[in-house]
Amino acid sequence: MSVVIAIDAGTTGVRSRAVFDTGPSQISSYREFTQHFPRPGWVEHDATEIWNTVIETLQDVISQLSEPISAIGITNQRETVVAWSRKSGKPFGTAIVWQDRRTADRCDELASHLSLVRQQTGLVLDPYFSATKFEWLINNREIKVDQDLCLGTIDSWLIFKLSGHEAFVTDPTNASRTMLFDITKMQWSQELCDLLNVPINNLPSIRPSSSRFALTTRHGALPAGIPISGVAGDQQAALFGQACFMTGATKNTYGTGSFVLMNVGTECPAPKAGILTTVAWQIESQQPVYALEGAIFATGAAIQWLRDGLNIIDNASEVGPLAQTVADSDGVVIVPAFAGLGSPWWDPYARGSIFGITRGTTRAHIARATIESIVFQTRDVVESMSAASGIKIKDLRVDGGAAVVDFMLQLQADHLGVTVLRPKQLETTAMGAAYLAGLAEKVWGSTDEITQAWQLDRKFEPNAAATGYESWQTAVKRSMNWLG
């Protein structure tokens, strides 16, 4: 029996999971790490703490295995950036997280270059992406730009550490989120690096997502010589783990934010307003596969806000049952623009808003309006994506923590007018990383085997008239003009 370990280095914690060639196992280990909020709109992580958390979870999983490890796959929070010393292996201060908005003004200054950014990267000018974060690190931490400097995303940082400081590499899915990578030429863009003042020689080399990146060195219980052979940003890994291998196949991950990705094949599409184009994955010796993406910044975060900010619920699992105690939101609309709005609006200055409250508004109405906001944001993205691609989706595959809320998925099916499919295995990011690594090391022979391994848990068919969407659209526009 062959086993692959997937490292899922997310935004709030790290999970390492063993995946056998016969399917996922119960052998996994999870650790949270600290979130730092030094100023309003700033979000930071300690890269060394993330690394230590990875080693802790790996050692925990390895201690439960009797089989030799065939490969390691890595999936990671995207756009988060780290600067570190090649010689010492120590970071130059904290990592800047994808949610961080400190470079919004810099993105405004670059507005005249939007066309160039769109054509080469498929992205928009937004502080969400890595490039302006790299520039900020260099300028504000007085980092010396020389051969010792490494600028990378979390995957590059972890591979560097796992390989004993030997490998400084990334894959096209992570590179395509930096705003520095030409997705048609599949290489770093000198033009964009010059524009953003990011030294191209200090960026990692690029390997296909399913290929051998490096070999591990010994770290405690982690043996030396294990190939690291699969790497993908978390959302692309989820698309792969959901077996969305056909053009038009679409998934949504309901996590801290939500991310809708549609497989659009091996031809890179022209940029479309409001929607991102990204590299979905690349298997060694094959053409890259592209995806359209809609990035929604706050979905699960809105449920956390009900729990931690408003104390309306004690546990996130309570939100669905509470919302179902009322027939509707009674006119309440919540726009959870805590960090601005992502797709298809791309307004970093929008603010979270609650509309329509009365003396009769209860916490149940607030809970229902919050769930509806997740459904409405997904509808915004899917309809924009279908318009951009000319492809009407046949169904939507879902995963992520909030995908366990049946009530929400039924509302989603009603609003999209398509079937929503929830798999038995919801940790699709880890599965995608494992599959990419296992394909490179011949644990799985082809993507057909992965398609056969995907199993349905529950199907949600549209069965009721969708209401409230017009009020949502009005509320969004008001949240973008909250200063009048």
Query: Residue 203 sits in a domain of what CATH number?
Result: 3.30.420.40
What is the reported pLDDT for 484? 57
Q: Which domain holds residue 60?
A: 3-242
**Residues with Cβ < 8 Å from 182, sequence gap 6 or more?**
120, 121, 188, 189, 192
Burial group, residue 244, by CB count within 10 angstroms (0-12, 13-18, 19+): buried
User: Could you tell me if residue 330 is inside a domain?
Assistant: no
Alpha-helical runs (H) found in 333-468: 363-389, 406-416, 428-440, 447-453
User: Could you tell me if residue 110 is inside a domain?
Assistant: yes
Residue type (1 letter), 126: D
| Neighbouring C-beta atoms of residue 120, cutoff 10 Å | 19
What is the reported pLDDT for 164? 95
User: Could you tell me if residue 346 is inside a domain?
Assistant: no
Which of the pair, 126 or 228, is modelled with greater confidence? 228
User: Could you tell me if residue 223 is inside a domain?
Assistant: yes
CA distance 126 to 347: 9
User: Could you tell me if residue 115 is inside a domain?
Assistant: yes
Alpha carbon dihedral 39, 42, 48, 53, in 10-degree steps, equals: 110
* Nearest to 371, CA basis, from 419, 329, 308, 422: 329
Dig out the tokens for 471 from the structure: 């009020």
User: Could you tell me if residue 66 is inside a domain?
Assistant: yes
Highest mean pLDDT among 156-160, 322-326, 363-367, 459-463: 156-160
Pair 38, 196: CB distance under 8 Å? no
Q: What is the mean pLDDT of residues 185-190?
A: 97
| Structural domain count, the chain | 1
Q: What is the mean pLDDT of residues 70-84?
A: 96
User: Could you tell me if residue 117 is inside a domain?
Assistant: yes
Q: How much of the chain, in percent, has pLDDT values that exceed 70? A: 99
Residue type (1 letter), 363: R
User: Could you tell me if residue 161 is inside a domain?
Assistant: yes
- Report CA-CA distances (Å) from 197 to 80, 99, 466: 18, 21, 48
Pair 167, 158: CB distance under 8 Å? no
Tens-digit pLDDT profile for residues 321-347:
999 999 999 999 999 998 889 889 988
Peptide linkage before 344 cis (omega within 30 of 0): yes
User: Taking the mean position of all CA atoms in its chain, how far away is CA 472?
Assistant: 25
Tens-digit pLDDT profile for residues 428-475:
999 999 999 999 999 999 999 999 989 999 999 998 778 889 999 999
